[in-house]
Copies of this chain bind each other. A is one copy, B any other.
Amino acid sequence: MPGATAVVIDVIRATSTIVEALASGARAVYPTLSSDEAIRLVNSLGREDTLLCGERKGLRIEGFDLGNSPLEFTPERVADKRLVMSTTNGTRAFLASEDADRVVAASLLNLSAVSLTVRESDRLVFVCAGKEDRFSLDDALCAGLIIEKLSNAEDAEVQLDDASKAAVALAKAYPVEPQLLSQTAAGAALVKVGLGADLERCADVDRYSLVPEMHERIIRLPDDV
């Protein structure tokens, strides 16, 4: 990680939700590893302008203000708020990237913006959150789409390792369409708990052109850093 730019990806749903929240005017997102840690942090930040957000098995944690559905993070709910987020896989991916020189959040919602932002980096590491330490098709696809854009850029000199080559092949094999995410394990699990509507938003390629960055465990838009 040291010397690299880490591109953290959790399409379903942490990085999609973070992009959505910041697009809706949230001031910052604080990822935490557990709901207890989230509650402690929200208490120390002060409840007046901080919301407690998080999910377990896809659903909002009882007593929390918001879950982890991008559709919940509207300007009405989150503008000017700080958001403390407890998610399982996404948070772990951010904390695993802490030693990188730079940490950005990527999703299908902002992939072109990410590829423009990171293209000057000497070394990129894609941190795909997965699902309980297992491979997730949606995250690998998103990585592949970004790598493809970087490779196709003019004057690009890109060297790919085996995993990156595989991700690009996946991106070519699975064109992004509304039904795509429901074919993934994470997507199917969401449909099962009644949150299938999230998948359409998570698959809305390049809806936004912003790139959240994490510094000292706080995720913001660069202008706000």
Contacts and interface: CB of A to CB of B under 8 A. Distances in A.
Report whether over half of chain A's contact residues are helix, strand or loop; otherwise say mixed.
Answer: helix
Contacts of A134: 161-163
A134 B161 CA distance: 10
B185 A161 contact: yes
A140 B166 contact: yes
A161 B137 CA distance: 9
A150 to B, nearest CB: 18
Contacts of A169: 169-170, 173-174
A56 interface: no
A interface residue count range (under 10 / 10 to 19 / 20 to 34 / 35 or more): 20 to 34
B185 A162 contact: yes
A166 to B, nearest CB: 6
A165 interface: yes
Contact of A162 (B137, B163, B166, B172): B137
A161 B172 CA distance: 19
A14 to B, nearest CB: 17
A34 interface: no
A166 B170 contact: yes
18 contacts: A131-B162, A134-B161, A134-B163, A135-B162, A135-B163, A135-B166, A137-B162, A137-B163, A137-B165, A138-B162, A161-B185, A166-B170, A169-B170, A169-B173, A169-B174, A170-B170, A172-B173, A173-B173
